[in-house]
Each structure stands twice: as structure tokens, then as C-alpha cells.
Chains A and B, each alone.
Chain A
């Protein structure tokens, strides 16, 4: 028993050439409630992983552990070869390398759109103001709202705000982008524009982990789909395999409820 565990452990922690994120036997507790149980997940460079599952299944908690917005209680998490631990320096380095997009955008309402985007490059990467602003304008072009640069976030529509939030994360030139239900707070007619931006990103080769309820997006863009329930990863597969031919009963039940 010990022996086989040892092997699995050794195998899982071995740094593969192109694994950007590795989670090995990760547990997370909220008090007595076990939010994550024995999570093992590897994400390769340029891979798009979509996490789906019923609410309360631990999807958000999982990706929030990756940049230490939640602290995991057991197991190991490596981002780009850096282990996530108590070490503040490691945490800061991992946060610099991972961008995160939130369900409620979390733009800074007291700063203009362009200041939202230039803040982190200037404060964290010490980029000169001119350079940061040029970068911000380039990113705003990419998310197709350069004309909104001087406005304040709350003067924009939800879809525009979420695209600014994506641009803000990209300004740090992250190696991985984490999306925590990026379209759940949007009015239906604005979901498309945000998903299009995310598709562009995937096409450009960004490594992405996306928690979402948009099955169309999962089918079209994901390299792998991860299905979670009750804090555990139940099933992992390519979109085709996952949607056409699910193996687990729990997955079948979930798919029958939403499709």
C-alpha cells in the first residue's frame, strides 16, 4: 500500500517538460466541510481545461487554490515549477504568472479603465508609465474596446467590464489564465462577446483553466473537460468523449439535467 502510494506520488510530482500546473492529492477544508478531496490535475502548456459541475462542487475553490486565494490544507500545487507554500515570495511569484478573471469582474471602481490595466505592470513589474499605457492600449484593441480607455469601469456594460478585466490580467503577461465563471453575472446578450474574447485567447495559445456553465464553449474550445462533484474530480476527458460517451453515472446524471 505504502509502496504503491509512493510510486503514484513520485510519478505525479515529476516535472514534465510542459506541465504548467500540477496539483497532487490536494485537499481543502472549510472548517469541518471538505471542499476538495484528493485533487490530481495536470495542465500542459497551451492547454485549455474547462471545469464543469453542479454548484457547490468545488470548481471555484479548485482554481482559487492555484493562486492562493484559498489555502490548500494537504497535497502539493506547483505552478510553472514553483511550489505553492507558506513562502510569501513563491506566492507572489505565482500570482505574477497567473491571471485571474472573476465572476463579478472586480475592476477597481476608483480607477479609469486604463489605470486599472496599467496598475499591476507599473506597481509589480516596475514598467515605465508610457510603456504600460502603450501595452494597455494594445490589450484594449485586442478585447475590442480601445475607445473606453478613459472611462470608469461602472460606466461600461457588464460585457465590456469583463473584457477590461481580461485585459487587466493579460497586462501582467501571465503564463496561465484562470477564469472563475466569467459569464455567470452577465446579461445573456453580453455572454457572446466575452466568450469570443476567450476563444481568441485560446487560439493564440494561452494556457487556460475555465470554470463555466457554458457547454457550447467547453465543446468548442476545451482540450479537456473536467467534471467535478462533491469536491472530487469525477471524470476527465476530451469534449467529444465527455459529452458523447460519459463513463460515470454522476456525469451522466449531470449532463441529463443540463442538456
Chain B
């Protein structure tokens, strides 16, 4: 005889779940009611503020200032072109990787249908795309719309082209040429932009993003070298690395930024002194490198000794033991911590406004509350909420991508 499985309605299941998870004991029930109620109240107040009470006019009429600062009107087109080129670039790289994985047959994406792929893309970048659309609705001109459409088209075109290239077997030299082209696209874009408006005058969210990107790219090799230096057997190199790391980690970033603002004049003549954004980028790089060095050192320690021994036994040189065997595993083991450091660098770029007087997103958001149209209306909350939201979108996307990267590189991890 068979035992019939009891059939529950959806409502019964929900009740059972609630009883087991929320009201198991009287104490649980009290906690659930108190914190559930508090949570609902906070959500209600937040929604009320965002959709009813807040006066977002201050943001929409200053959107350009917040995003790209006082970028000269004649050259705004360059920003649009640059953004589209970078979208094309990102698409190319993403497509290339996808195509190569498809060829190697290791990609989960290869097994996905188009609808699943779009769903995957939406989960990864939906928040960012949604934010862009939201900002578009706040604009009063057509330029941003055209830019966004251009970005989308360029991104998809890049992805498609990249996939076609990735599926083919390339000769050694064609492959190298391609890498060179890919590496030179962002550099060329940078020069295309600074030739219209020097880096020294970049402002708004553009400054925050540029400083974060430059800081991340530059601090990475420096951090790795410092970590290796700290483990070196050469006493001078070792003690210098330790001294550097411990000094930088022992000072507040804000103080270092203030120092960068005033102390450089002691060492170089005024005419040679770098501009404020460059000082900020250098400080961010030097600061984050020290933290990254400690993260990488932890990663190096997590690689079993046997790995280095096997590499030695095969006759690999010490450099190759490190760069082909130990370091790749070490870096992979600490991806979450590395990305965490990069996220904090991204957010810390807001300190540059107060320390160096750069009109970044935060400084701009504060400044606009003193405009004649908005002064004395208590709009600082709207401004700050907007700034927080923009940084949250960037940080959250980075954090999600880090989890994805970790999973993807996790092939074969114990």
C-alpha cells in the first residue's frame, strides 16, 4: 500500500513557513513583530520620501554638472563618443571571452538560450542600465538619450564582433596585435578626451570614476610588487616594503590627500606641480597599493608549499615559479578581498572633494544647494541621497561581478 503525500495549498505552505521561521517560540514572535514592523515602517517612510516628498528638481536641473562638472559645452560630444567607444571596448572583450570559452567548450553561457542570456545580462547589469534610464528621464535634452542609445548599440556590436573573433583560431601575431589594439582603445580614448579638456579640470562623477579606474589599474601591479617585496629574502627590499606598507596603512587617507595638496610645493616648483586630480589619483594609488599588498600577501600564504616545490622540481626558474604557479592561485584566492578594496577606493574618491577642492560628485551635490534657485530650501538630503545612490549602484555592480568572477575562475577549485 502506498502512503499519499499530503497536498498543501499555497496558503497552508506560507502559514507553515511563517510558523517555522517567524513564530517558532514566543520570543521569536516578539522579535519578528518588532523588527518586521520597524522594517515596514522604514520602507514606507523611504518610499514616501523618494516618490512623494522629495523635490528632485535640483538634481534634474543640475544633472550635467553632477555627471561631468564644468565640461566645456563645445566638447560635450567628445564625452558621448568616449562613452560609446568604451562600451564598444567592453563589448569586444566580453564577446571575445565568451567566444573563446565557447570554442573551448567550458562556458556555461554556451549552453544558454538567447532568452536565458538576456536574463543573465539583466541580472548582471540591470541595475546599472535601470539607473541610466532613470537619469535619462531626469534630463531635459536629447543628447544623453542619443549617447545612451549609442552606448547600447556599440556595446552589442562590440560583443558580436568579439564573439566572431573569439571563435576563430588566431595566429600568434594576429593574437598579439589584437591584444595591443584592445589595450590601446582606452588609452586612445583618454587622449581623445584630454585633448579637449585637460585631466586637471575633470569634475563630477566623471572624476570619481576616472580616479577609481586609474587607481585600480595602477595600484594593482604596485600592490603585487610590494607583497613580493615583503616576502623577499633581500633585507633592504623587505624592510623598505614593510616600512612603506605600515606607514601608509597607519595614516588616514584624508590626511594623505591633504598632504598631497600642500606638501608637493616643497619638492617641485609650482610650474611643474601636477594638477589636483593627478595628485588625488597618485594618492589613491599609493594608499590602496599598501592595503592590496597585505591582501596579496595573505593570498600567497594560502597557496600550499607543495605548489612551489612541484614547480621547482620541474626546473622552473624562481620568477616563473612565482608568476606562473603561485601568484595566479594566490590572486584567485583573494578576489573578494581585492574587489572589496577596489570598492572602497571607488567610494573614497569622494574625499578628494573636501581635501583637494575638486568639484567631484559629492562636492558638486553640496554646491548646488547654494544655487539661487535652491538655496535655503533644505535640499541637501535630496542631493546626498542621489550621491549615495550613484555610488551604491557602482559598488553593488562591482561586488556582483566579483562573485561571478570568483565562480568562473573557481573551475577546479577544491
Contacts and interface: CB of A to CB of B under 8 A. Distances in A.
A92 B412 contact: no
Contacts of A152: 411-412
B272 interface: no
Interface stretch (A30-38, A39-47, A51-59, A99-107): A99-107
B309 A109 contact: no
Contacts of B315: 92, 95-96, 120, 124, 172
B158 to A, nearest CB: 28
A99 B313 contact: yes
Contacts of A120: 314-316
A15 to B, nearest CB: 23
Interface in A160-215: 165, 168-169, 172
B411 A95 contact: no
Contacts of A104: 304, 306
Contact of A169 (B104, B314, B317, B325): B314
B325 A108 contact: yes
User: Chain B: interface residue count, which band?
Assistant: 20 to 34
Given A119-B324, A123-B324, A110 B329 contact: yes
Nearest to A165: B310
Contacts of A100: 310, 313
A98 interface: yes
Contact of B313 (A69, A107, A119, A154): A69
A231 interface: no
A257 to B, nearest CB: 29
A69 to B, nearest CB: 6
A20 B215 CA distance: 55
B307 interface: yes
User: Chain A: interface residue count, which band?
Assistant: 20 to 34
Given A106-B307, A120-B315, A154 B412 contact: yes
B311 to A, nearest CB: 8
Nearest to A103: B306
A257 B414 CA distance: 36
B323 to A, nearest CB: 10
Nearest to A96: B315
A109 B413 contact: yes
Contacts of A232: none
B412 A109 contact: yes
Interface in B291-320: 304, 306-307, 309-317, 320
B328 interface: yes
B328 A110 contact: yes
A237 to B, nearest CB: 29
A119 B324 CA distance: 9
A109 B414 contact: yes
Interface in B380-414: 411-414
B347 interface: no
B332 interface: yes
A153 interface: yes
Interface string B52-66: 000000000000000
Given A68-B312, A110-B332, 18 more contacts: A92-B317, A95-B313, A98-B313, A106-B304, A106-B306, A107-B310, A108-B307, A108-B311, A108-B329, A109-B329, A109-B412, A119-B324, A124-B314, A152-B411, A153-B412, A155-B412, A169-B313, A172-B315
27 contacts: A67-B312, A67-B313, A92-B315, A95-B313, A95-B315, A96-B315, A100-B310, A100-B313, A102-B306, A102-B309, A104-B306, A106-B306, A106-B307, A106-B309, A106-B310, A108-B307, A108-B310, A109-B412, A110-B329, A110-B412, A119-B314, A120-B316, A123-B316, A150-B104, A153-B412, A154-B413, A169-B314
